[in-house]
């Protein structure tokens, strides 16, 4: 009898995984957003539904923190199993309890309608301020420009106005206002597209891999075989049967890619498998929703960590979400709560 397959429970991270991807247009874009934030009524923060925690950028808390915000989890179609979505929907809402949360998909433009309804009712209240402006922000490639096109299509029945693409870095500058709602008796609503912004340094290799797997980092930054291996690790923890047409369940990425390349014809000279291309194709299949539907972030763990941290450290200020932002910033900076406290004491 064949031995039962046991998936890896821990991914073997290499210290050599690149941790930075903060480009010139990210920095310039963030500066521009800071300049514009006072003149907008709302910020829509987009997060990729497959990485609802990892796609939060703490730089936005600092730069745009006080502005009224809506949170949109994009790419809902890529979490195609209803039970996975249902199980995690409430957890996602709990990440930001005081902020309206929406879920959208480009496969169904009217999924953006609830956002329009919220903006419309607010625009009516804000009529005295004239037109309402909304800035759409988020990590690279999470679907900001696509969301704007869905809002425009549903709100004013116009074709797409923002460039989109499968690579991060399609939008390079803060754009000009795009109309998404227009009512002769009410305020018009305009949105500003912005470039995706990464963090200056990602101390946590696993978060870097999650972002890379979801396409928030250019595919040339991290070896495609490493990204494919990280994907294989997650698929094995969920449903290894999704790749049974190419290989038996395995934890060995070289063996898997060899089988995959031979059976899908990704071969170089002399019939030798083109391993990097095979790795990329495998990852692209997952990004297209063909290799199973699961979250890469553990929301239950995140919520319990936040609860524990809240217990240890009662916030001494009332700013909405500031305390969570500090925890996020600690994670990004790779420092402990004690180290931050020490730094804060030094500053006072
Ligand atoms: N399956 C699926 N793909 C989506 C969805 N929204 C966006 N995409 C795809 O994700 C990729 C990135 O979309 P964009 O709208 O360009 O993302 P962005 O955040 O504006 O990216 P940058 O401007 O590069 O930061 C494109 O290939 C889109 O087609 C969605 O709801 N479902
Ligand atoms: Mg864009």
Domains of the chain: total:
2
Q: Establish if 82 belongs to a structural domain.
A: yes
Q: Given this model, what pLDDT does residue 213 score?
A: 98
* Pick from 11, 12, 14, 48: nearest CA to 223: 14
- Under 8 Å CB-to-CB from 164, ≥6 apart: which residues? 143, 145, 146, 149, 170
Domain boundary among 192, 225, 249: 192
Query: Are 165 and 35 members of one domain?
Result: yes
Q: Would you say the CB of residue 131 lies under 6 angstroms from ligand 1? A: no
166 and 36 housed in the same domain:
yes
Cα–Cα dist 204/331, whole Å: 8
Q: Which residues contact 158 (CB under 8 A, 6 or more apart)?
A: 152, 179
Pocket test for ligand 1, best of 138, 147, 165, 293 (most atoms within 8 A of CB): 165
Q: Are residues 181 and 321 in the same domain?
A: no
Q: Are residues 38 and 174 in the same domain?
A: yes
Task: Determine the atom of ligand 1 nearest the C-alpha atom of 193.
Answer: 20
Q: For ligand 1, is residue 145 a contact (CB within 6 Å)? A: yes
**At which of 165, 192, 219 does a domain end?**
192
Instruction: Compute the CA torsion angle 214, 218, 219, 220 (nearest 10 deg).
Output: -160
In a domain, 7, yes or no: no
Domain residues for the domain of 338 are 313-347
Q: pTM score > 0.85 for this model? A: yes
Q: Is the CB of 165 under 6 A from ligand 1?
A: yes
In a domain, 13, yes or no: no
User: Based on the domain organization, do 49 and 185 belong to the same domain?
Assistant: yes
Ligand 1 contact, 214 CB (< 6 A): no
- The burial of 15, by beta-carbon neighbours within 10 Å (0-12 exposed, 13-18 middle, 19 or more buried), is given as exposed
With respect to residue 106, please indicate whether it lies within any of the assigned structural domains. yes
What local confidence, expressed as pLDDT, does residue 171 receive? 97
Question: Which of 154, 176, 192 is the endpoint of a domain?
Answer: 192
Ligand 2 centre distance from Cα of residue 144 (Å): 5
Tell me, using a 6 A CB cutoff, whether residue 196 lines ligand 1: yes
Tell me, yes or no, whether 244 lies in a domain: no
Residue ranges in the chain modelled with pLDDT below 50 = 315-320
Ligand nearest to the CA of 140: 1
Q: What is the CATH number of the domain that holds 83?
A: 3.40.50.300
Are 320 and 181 part of one and the same domain?
A: no
Residues 40 and 187 in one domain: yes
Q: Is residue 86 part of a domain?
A: yes
pLDDT digits (tens, 9 = 90+) for 222-236: 999 999 999 999 999
Cα Rg of the chain, angstroms:
22
State the closest ligand 1 atom to the C-alpha of 148, by its place in the atom list counted from 1.
Answer: 15
What does the pLDDT read at residue 313? 67
Q: Is residue 253 part of a domain?
A: no
In a domain, residue 58? The reply is yes
């Amino acid at each position: 009898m064949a031995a039962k397959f046991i998936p890896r429970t821990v991914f073997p991270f290499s210290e050599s995984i690149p941790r930075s991807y903060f480009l010139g247009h990210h920095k310039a874009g963030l500066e521009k957003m800071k300049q514009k934030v006072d003149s907008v009524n709302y910020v829509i923060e987009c997060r990729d539904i497959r990485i609802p925690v990892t796609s939060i950028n703490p730089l936005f808390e600092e730069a745009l923190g006080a502005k009224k915000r809506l949170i949109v989890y994009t790419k809902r179609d890529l979490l195609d199993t209803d039970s996975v979505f249902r199980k995690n929907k409430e957890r996602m809402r709990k990440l930001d309890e005081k902020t309206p949360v929406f879920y959208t998909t480009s496969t169904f433009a009217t999924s953006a309608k609830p956002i329009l309804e919220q903006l419309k009712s607010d625009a009516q209240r804000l009529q005295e301020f004239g037109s309402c402006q909304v800035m759409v922000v988020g990590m690279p490639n999470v679907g900001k420009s696509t969301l704007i096109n869905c809002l425009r299509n549903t709100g004013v029945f116009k074709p797409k106005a923002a460039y989109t693409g499968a690579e991060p870095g399609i939008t390079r500058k803060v754009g000009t206002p795009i109309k998404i709602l227009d009512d002769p008796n009410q305020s018009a609503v305009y949105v500003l597209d912005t470039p995706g912004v990464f963090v200056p340094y990602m101390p946590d290799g696993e978060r870097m891999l999650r972002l890379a797997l979801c396409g928030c980092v250019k595919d040339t930054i991290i070896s495609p075989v490493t990204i494919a291996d990280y994907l294989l690790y997650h698929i094995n923890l969920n449903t290894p049967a999704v790749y049974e047409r190419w290989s038996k369940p395995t934890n060995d990425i070289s063996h898997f890619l060899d089988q995959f390349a031979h059976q899908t014809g990704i071969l170089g000279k002399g019939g030798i498998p083109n391993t990097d291309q095979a790795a990329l194709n495998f990852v692209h299949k997952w990004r297209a929703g063909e290799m199973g539907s699961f979250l890469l972030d553990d929301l239950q763990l995140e919520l319990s960590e936040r609860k524990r941290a809240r217990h240890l450290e009662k916030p001494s200020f009332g700013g909405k979400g500031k305390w969570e932002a500090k925890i996020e910033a600690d994670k990004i900076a790779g420092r402990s709560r004690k180290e931050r406290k020490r730094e804060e004491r030094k500053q006072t």
